[in-house]
Copies of this chain bind each other. A is one copy, B any other.
Amino acid sequence: MLTSINNPKVKEWKKLHKRKFRERMGCFIIEGDHLVEEALRSGWKIEELMIREDYTFPIPEEVPWTEVSIQVFEAIAQTETPQGIAAVVSIEEKQYKHSQLSLLIDGVQDPGNLGTLIRTADAAGFEQVILGNGTVDAFNEKVVRATQGSIFHIPVVRGNLEEVVKELQTSGVKVFASSLTNAISYKEIATPRQVALIIGNEGNGVKEELIELADEQIYIPIYGKAESLNAAIAGAVLMYHLRG
């Protein structure tokens, strides 16, 4: 059993809380029964499971694991009252591909919002999520937690959104940008067979260059006195409408 928080392995695991190290090491860290089960089921490569000394979890034979002390587990865990299981998972690099239903994310900053958008894209049957520059890292732990496992179900890729939009349009996909001004209500939109939806930054929305490239700007009507909708909420209402 691993009992020292100064053990080199423990130090490596803790580094995975930072984006820079996730990118360098090509892996990320997840916590809790549900996410670890989803990871195991998904076929993504588990580098190692960390199981807390007092915890029970059915570990498959082929997966490497290390038992750690309560103190070590606390040093690794990011949630306040963690379940006693965590895992280091190898990042599967996905490629942008032609899809009938794509969600494009332009600069969403809040990890909960991005995670929820990925989960909802999965639920709504979208086929990929493409993250433009300035978007929070998909392998940030708060993002992964909010995806509730959908990070393992739906390809999440990074891309230059201007190029992606042009490529999608060339292959017949209609691109909609979510917007508050100069837009038409989503309820007026017939739902084409091939769709991409762009959701923008919480404060600034979709950037000008992308709005100009999009085929149509759409908005969700505000009937009450709220100034706007949360980005993940707007994404959900539009995705469920656009998928027809």
Binding site for B on A (CB under 8 A): 112, 116, 119-126, 146, 148-150, 153-154, 220, 222-230, 232-233, 236-237, 240, 243
Contact = CB atoms under 8 A, between A and B. Distances in A.
A116 B237 CA distance: 14
A123 B226 contact: yes
A62 B126 CA distance: 53
B232 A150 contact: no
A124 B227 contact: no
Interface of A is mostly: loop
Given A112-B112, A233-B233, A237-B237, A119 B150 contact: no
A240 B225 contact: no
Contact of A150 (B225, B233, B240): B225
A146 B226 CA distance: 12
A126 to B, nearest CB: 7
Given A236-B233, A240-B237, A222 B112 contact: no
A148 B225 CA distance: 11
